[in-house]
């Protein structure tokens, strides 16, 4: 796999988003490779998700031409990332640096724990682009920070740093850039040292109150995305982005 790499060592899996030349921006190949990696590390006791290069994930790659084919199938495939992150028996720790924008922020949101470098920048720009969120942000953001703050983030499209993300409840810990992976891997190692059945049951129990609502949120997001995807506003914003130097 070229767009995602993974390895497992002593029960800890490390998954790298690997499109550094595009700030790990999301394309169908990256989604496919990430889903394959998540299946491959299912027996790990803890998982760390990180991004190579200067960013964790800068969202959808708007430089790419408009997607063709069955939009519902493609959007549901993207949502499968959230589903698999939540369904893994092992906890997943996002190690975020640089940009975590749009789909990238949603990838982090789908993880169980989030460690962010001081350089991390989060944003949910979908509304400003005429799009709909698709990675269960409509359910997970209000759950983590309350509906008022969630609406503020989605409606105003304000970028916020790691310290603000921690204040809002989106990030567990903030580290230096150099210490990010060490911190995330240290947490993963501690989790991997616990009895795996107990860890899996704890994760499942903590998530049990949200999962049924999560499925409904994902379906609602799909219906909204199918409406917005081919709107004139989205076409204009995409063309403006692709025309940049």
As annotated, the active-site residues are: 106, 126
CA distances from residue 244 to 70, 148, 237, 240 in whole angstroms, order as listed: 28, 34, 11, 7
Q: How far apart are CA 80 and CA 228, in angstroms?
A: 20
SS3 call for 47: strand
Distance CA 6, CA 16 (A): 6
Burial of 240 by CB count in 10 Å (0-12 exposed, 13-18 middle, 19+ buried)? exposed
Nearest CA among 77, 183, 61 for reference residue 120: 183
């Amino acid at each position: 796999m070229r767009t995602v790499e993974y390895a497992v060592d002593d029960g800890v899996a490390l998954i790298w988003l690997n499109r550094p030349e595009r700030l790990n921006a999301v394309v169908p190949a990256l989604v496919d490779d990430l889903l394959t990696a998540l299946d491959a590390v299912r027996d790990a006791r803890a998982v760390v998700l990180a991004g190579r290069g200067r960013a964790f994930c800068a969202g959808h790659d708007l430089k790419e031409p408009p997607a063709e084919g069955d939009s519902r199938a493609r959007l549901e495939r993207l949502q499968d990332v959230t589903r698999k992150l939540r369904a893994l028996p092992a906890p997943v720790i996002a190690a975020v640096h640089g940009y975590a924008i749009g789909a990238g922020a949603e990838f982090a949101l789908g993880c169980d724990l989030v460690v962010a470098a001081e350089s991390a920048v989060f944003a949910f720009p979908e509304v400003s682009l005429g799009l709909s969120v698709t990675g269960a942000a409509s359910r997970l953001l209000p759950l983590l920070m309350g509906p008022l703050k969630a609406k503020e983030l989605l409606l105003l499209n304000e970028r916020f740093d790691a310290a603000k993300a921690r204040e809002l409840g989106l990030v567990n810990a903030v580290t230096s850039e150099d210490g990010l992976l060490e911190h995330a891997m240290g947490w993963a190692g501690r989790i991997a040292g616990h009895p795996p059945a107990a860890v899996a049951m704890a994760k499942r129990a903590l998530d049990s109150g949200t999962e049924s609502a999560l499925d409904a949120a994902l379906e609602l997001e799909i219906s909204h995305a199918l409406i917005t995807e081919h709107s004139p506003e989205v076409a204009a914003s995409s063309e403006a982005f692709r025309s940049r130097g």
